Structure 1
Amino acid sequence: MSRKRLGQLEAEILALLAGAEEYLSTAQLREQLEGSPAYTTVNTVLFRLLDKKMVERAQRGRGYVYRLLVDEADLAAGRMFDHLRVASDPSDVLNQFVHGLNPAEERALRALLDRPEE
């Protein structure tokens, strides 16, 4: 089993919660994560997300279940902006990003860029 950085695991947990239609338990999240992270590791990430007020939890039986409180698109865009702000060459970062897009993502980006400004 390869170990993931906590930031990567946090992003994966946020994505799972964003796609969920209901609250999810630590065990349910762990089952859907690749690499079988330890239950305690998933719990640690959930506690950190709870402290950051990115998720909320509710009691279900003797355990807790979690759901996303923030908008996933806002989170991803914020991370992208953070990376661009600290890059020595933001144009190069954008170039690498665009060249890494698949055709569907490229079409979506092109459509957004071609829209008239509001």
Structure 2
Amino acid sequence: MPRRKLGQLEAEVLAVLAGAGDHLSTAELCAELDGDPAYTTVNTVLFRLLDKRMVDRIPRGRGYAYRLVVDESEVAAERMFGHLRVASDPSGVLNQFVSGLHPEEAEALRAVLDQRREPS
């Protein structure tokens, strides 16, 4: 299996924590992630997320357990904004993004855009 970039693993860790609803240890996170990532790599990602104040941790046994403390949708949206801000062709980026959506995702996007068009 090809190695994933740390940014991708960070996003996967955030998604698992968002779905957990409670604190998870590094070992529990590793068990939930695809591809059997190294414990030390997941721990490194958790330390970075802790530094960014995106997770908190509590003592559990001889280690720690982590919980997401930010809104996952805000994190994902900020990453998307970041890519659009540096793109030389933001419309092209959006076109590629929309072209890659599954029909259900495209419908959800349409619903959000329609809702934003409605007068408040």
Aligned counterparts, 1:23-42, within 5 A: 23-42=23-42
Structure 1: 4+ residue segments shifted above 2 A:
none
CA–CA distance in 1 between the matches of 2:30 and 2:20?
Answer: 14
Aligned to 1:108: 108
Q: Normalised by the size of structure 1, how large is the TM-score?
A: 0.96
Q: Normalised by the size of structure 2, how large is the TM-score?
A: 0.94
Aligned-pair CA distance for 1:117: 4.7
Aligned-pair CA distance for 1:2: 2.4
CA–CA distance in 2 between the matches of 1:107 and 1:52?
Answer: 33
CA–CA distance in 1 between the matches of 2:66 and 2:46?
Answer: 8
The residue identity in structure 2 corresponding to 1:82 is G
The 3-state SS of whatever aligns with 1:4 is coil
The Cα RMSD (Å) is 1.0
Is 1:95 the counterpart of 2:95 in the alignment? Answer: yes
Q: How many percent of aligned residue pairs carry the same amino acid?
A: 69
Deviations along 1:7-63, one digit per CA (max 9) or x if unpaired, are 110110000000112110000000111111111111111011101111000011222
Provide the aligned length of Structure 1 versus Structure 2. Answer: 118
CA–CA distance in 1 between the matches of 2:65 and 2:96?
Answer: 38
Aligned-pair CA distance for 1:4: 1.2
- Name structure 1 gaps, 5 residues minimum: none
- Name structure 2 gaps, 5 residues minimum: none
CA–CA distance in 1 between the matches of 2:101 and 2:2?
Answer: 26
